[in-house]
Structure 1
Amino acid sequence: MTFPFSFGLPMSRTTTIELHKEEMKFSAGHFTIFSATHRENLHGHNFTVYVALTGAVVENGLLSDYGPLKQAVISRCRAWNETFLLPGRSPYLRLEQDVRGDYLARFHDEELRFLARDVTVLPVENVTLEELARVFGEELVADGAVLKSSGITRVVVKCASGPGQWSSWEWENHG
């Protein structure tokens, strides 16, 4: 059957799958570092994660099997849930571990101590929404090979610390 709007030509269909599942959230503590001498107090948020995958719909009516990508986000949320997030690459915060593996965080003239079991050290300069969205996104994209083979051409990852406060990270396949 040919629909009137196709004019008998094969149609290229692009779609976006948006993932914002109940399991794509985590509760974590952190503090933002503003300068070498100024930081927020320790506090926490109920973070949520949203992922949008864009690409061509193939013959079977699917964009791709996005299940593994969804599970990767859910797994990361579970790993970070109920932990205190510390930046592993901050120029202003020095992290040390004692013989038990517990953390001593040195900031300006302060020493903050954390039990190892309570801490997740992230590959970020600062624990911000911008950096959290980037870490989620870069993990999903990795080298881009999986997404390229699945036909996904664009990924948007958003991370929120509460209603009305989001940060976005984007990747697009230009090949």
Structure 2
Amino acid sequence: MTMPNPPALAGHYRVRVTKDHLVFAAGHFITYNGDHCERIHGHNYRVAVEVEGPLDDNHYVFDFIALLELSRSIVAEWDHRMLLPDGSGLIAVHDDPGEGPAHVRVCYKERRWVFPKEECVILPIPNTTTELLARLFGQRLWERMGQQGLKPPSVLRVEVEENFGQMAAAEWRNPSE
């Protein structure tokens, strides 16, 4: 018995990239429960990016190489850095030019840290949680797509895994579709 032909596809496709070079090692700490602050620690974060939409004239949802390069550019900015929140009401981050190389001074209640500025990335988020890192990564990726003149996908999803089995995701839907 022969199988009938499958129904026509609706024209919606998905592309996903996650590779060994979409990994960044970074230090951070978060606040939680209003009055607690973790110790400084780090993760080998892994990023996965997924886009959805119809095929373009080249029969792509999105060019894999372009998606990887844009994603790697963000990973490179965060790799081997201390990730610090600039929008926290609990953690204060200050430039401390002082003598010699510039530093960043960070305060949480009575706790104080000083880091070389060139080794920090100050992020416009209230806390360096994996959820907010995924959201910021996606926002920056969306902006870079536009700067490169690339057609935005119907859906952009970014996953950031901080440890094996622990990940957060953020998703955007193109408002023009």
**Structure 2 match to 1:81:** 79
- 1:95 paired to 2:96: no
Of 48, 51, 55, the residue aligned with 1:50 is: 48
**Structure 1 match to 2:135:** 134
Structure 2 residue identity aligned to 1:26: F
1:147 Cα shift? 10
1:43 Cα shift? 0.5
- 1:71 paired to 2:72: no
Q: In 2, are the aligned partners of 1:148 and 1:173 still within 8 Å (CA)?
A: no
Structure 1 residues 57 and 146: alpha-carbon distance in aligned structure 2, compared to 1, 3 A threshold? farther
The unaligned stretches of length 5 or more in structure 1 are: none
Q: Tell me how far apart the structure 2 counterparts of residues 32 and 49 of structure 1 sit (CA, whole Å).
A: 20
**Structure 2 match to 1:41:** 39
TM-score (norm 1): 0.86
TM-score (norm 2): 0.85
1:144 Cα shift? 7.8
Structure 1 residues 63 and 41: alpha-carbon distance in aligned structure 2, compared to 1, 3 A threshold? same
Deviating above 3 A after TM superposition, structure 1's stretches of 4 or more consecutive aligned residues are 3-6, 143-149
1:158 Cα shift? 0.4
Structure 2 residue identity aligned to 1:85: L
Q: Tell me how far apart the structure 1 counterparts of residues 120 and 144 of structure 2 sit (CA, whole Å).
A: 27
Structure 1 residues 29 and 145: alpha-carbon distance in aligned structure 2, compared to 1, 3 A threshold? closer
Q: Tell me how far apart the structure 1 counterparts of residues 57 and 67 of structure 2 sit (CA, whole Å).
A: 21
Q: How many aligned residue pairs are there? A: 170
Q: Residues 26-81 of structure 1: CA distance to partner in whole angstroms, max 9, x if unpaired?
A: 00000011155310001000000000010112354222334333212111111211
**Structure 2 match to 1:164:** 165
Structure 1 residues 107 and 147: alpha-carbon distance in aligned structure 2, compared to 1, 3 A threshold? same
Structure 1 residues 151 and 36: alpha-carbon distance in aligned structure 2, compared to 1, 3 A threshold? closer
Q: Tell me how far apart the structure 1 counterparts of residues 111 and 152 of structure 2 sit (CA, whole Å).
A: 49
1:143 Cα shift? 9.1
1:148 Cα shift? 9.8
**Aligned partner of residue 60 in structure 2, secondary structure:** coil
| More deviation, 59-68/78-87 | 59-68
| More deviation, 58-67/164-173 | 58-67
The unaligned stretches of length 5 or more in structure 2 are: none
Output the aligned Cα RMSD. 2.5
Q: In 2, are the aligned partners of 1:27 and 1:81 still within 8 Å (CA)?
A: yes
Q: In 2, are the aligned partners of 1:158 and 1:166 still within 8 Å (CA)?
A: yes
Q: Tell me how far apart the structure 2 counterparts of residues 94 and 146 of structure 1 sit (CA, whole Å).
A: 32
Q: Tell me how far apart the structure 2 counterparts of residues 147 and 4 of structure 1 sit (CA, whole Å).
A: 40
Q: Tell me how far apart the structure 1 counterparts of residues 126 and 30 of structure 2 sit (CA, whole Å).
A: 10
